[in-house]
Structure 1
Amino acid sequence: MGKRILRRLPWAFLVATRLADAFVFTMRDQRTNFVLQEIASSTSSSRGSGVSVDNVVQGIYRLFPPEGLEQRIALSRKDGYWPYISKGEDPPKEFVYGEFDIYLLEQSLKRARDLLQKNDEDIIFCDAGSGIGRLVLAAAALYPNWKLCRGIELLPTIHEESINKLEDCRRRMVDEDIPRTSNSTTDIELLFLPSDDKPLPLAPIEMECGSFEDPYSSFCDADILFCFSSCLSSHLRTNLARSIGRQSRPGTIVITTEYQLPLGGQLTEVPDDLDYPCGEYELELVDTISGPCTAVGGESTVYIHRVLKSIGNGERRVQPLLPVSELAFRAIQHMEQTDTSKFIVQVSNQMAFLGFPESWRP
């Protein structure tokens, strides 16, 4: 075995080095961001947003018609279902697509906002597992004066669809009745409602393709973190709690559904990043809210937590880049461990599933 590796080493090292270079270039910036123009207004002492929930629901229904739910489910399966089925594996339950109730979201955000006791202009909201951006848009419409509403989605296909939905919200407004700020140099972008001539303003929105398990993810500055966790396994809920302990600041409000998060634990070292802090984290359960949600087949329970102790400081950490030599060495190890025959079978099955002629298959 050792001689075989040595004979192949020059060629393998060259290939692995090229792969490593490509990997570094690709990972340099894997985020896809899209920001909608904020409509600023004076700070309000009222804890109510003044936005009609019914109007927001109408606007969301226009962008995401209930009769189109099956198509949205099918779209989510491109990354979260068929790749596993083609390999004879069961799809992870956390990839099951569902749409959370907007009215229950509004109640949850209102409670979280009251707990924060911050000015709207300073509040950042993040939806971890944002799908096609439905709840991000809803939050931005419910609280248009928030500083930012962000979504983080793991599956690329539905993340791209969230970008498309944001494009649907872009409208150039020249109506003098629509307020502008003195420093606004671009046209205001608004979500239009189907039953009213008046558009509904949105807070700034940012979408990212990534994972909440990534210690370099971008929910570190969120004041309110929401996760539709009804289908998350116990393992993933624990990982979510650990990610919150790593990234979120004390005082952050965390909202989950159906399951309470673990309320504390020890954070171990991050692989390949010795400078990443370690330590303990602690959460507390502050409140629960229940309400109807068709996605879970009846009533959903929302758990509202507050971060008491963490190692997060509100700043996003930058992932250190490994030397190309180390990446090349790991690529060689992976190549040596790959079952070539199994790989060819998987390629053939995938080509058959996509309808390629049999003569093209390996």
Structure 2
Amino acid sequence: MRNLLAQVGASLGFLVFLMLITRQIIFPEPPKLPLSQTIEAQSNIIAMTFTNDGLQLISASGNTPVKLWNWTTKRNTTIFDDRSSNALSISVSRDGAYVATGHGNFQESKNLQETDIKIWDRKTGQLLKTLKGHTAPVRAVAFSPDGSRIVSGGQDKLIKVWDVNTGKLLQNIPAHTDHITSISFSNNGKFFASASDDKTIKLWDSNSLKLLNILEGHRGQVLSVAFSSNDRVLVSGSGEDRFDQNIQENSVKVWDLKTGTVQHTLTGNAGWVWSVGVSHNNKYVASAGYDGTVRVWNLISGELVGIGTEHSKQVYTVKFSPDDQLLVSGSDDGRLRLWKIQP
């Protein structure tokens, strides 16, 4: 009897083992991104950008000071101490001289709105100019590659073009039918893209400011756009339909800019894709997810490279390090996490 029970037990054990192996083959566990380092930022990270020389990372953290991080030591110095404003977006001029921050919050209440753009001296931390003109939170700011202009987008559905030296408004463009969420310049400076809650991405000529193309295909609000370094591809991240929460797209799309068509639709995020980034070598695309994850895909094949799950709250922003060895993510949990990227 004991021998029979032992045989049955062994058979059941083998069956369970076989089922586990079969499940792993049919439903394999997604690869994990190796975590290299965690930096305590002590405040939520809403947006961030590298200086063009790659020596410093600048992060915006709501109504706490904007911080500059020495990328060699990974230590920070507070440079823009303006606790009266809530920074939603950030950009640094290509020569590293100036930093622009767009201000506001995500609430719809008009009593809580901030609508300014601020230009700072990066080295001294001095506030140089405050640009007023938007009537709703400024979700996007971007320096033109030559540093002469700032293009901003707000929840007032407008794109505004500003002269950096004088602070004067040069152009006011009624660009979208819903909130503008992201603006990104091509690396050659010839055009820029704007993303909106109206589910579209629009491409504009940087000089004439004429509309060149409208990229349509997202079923949810488009929250972020980024160009590849060779300007052949645009990557976008989406969320839900703002007026029908049953439509949850939460995807990343890779667009061929020559044809205006979608090369890949990358899925898996269980929440909005707040930010996307493309590695400088054009091999990888990354996403920051409201589900608390960081994801990396192969830009060419669309294959998932890895998922980072160590953040405890939503991830708002991702940036590849200048040498593409690391991916940096900023989260509402008050931490910067550095993930190893395979060459």
Global fold match (TM > 0.5): no
Smaller-chain TM-score bracket: under 0.3
User: What TM-score, normalized by structure 2, do the two folds share?
Assistant: 0.23
Higher helix proportion, which one?
A: 1
Relative contact order: is structure 1 or structure 2 higher (C-alpha 8 Å, sep ≥ 6)? 1
Q: Work out which of the two has the higher radius of gyration on C-alpha atoms and give 1 or 2.
A: 1
User: What TM-score, normalized by structure 1, do the two folds share?
Assistant: 0.22
Higher strand proportion, which one?
A: 2
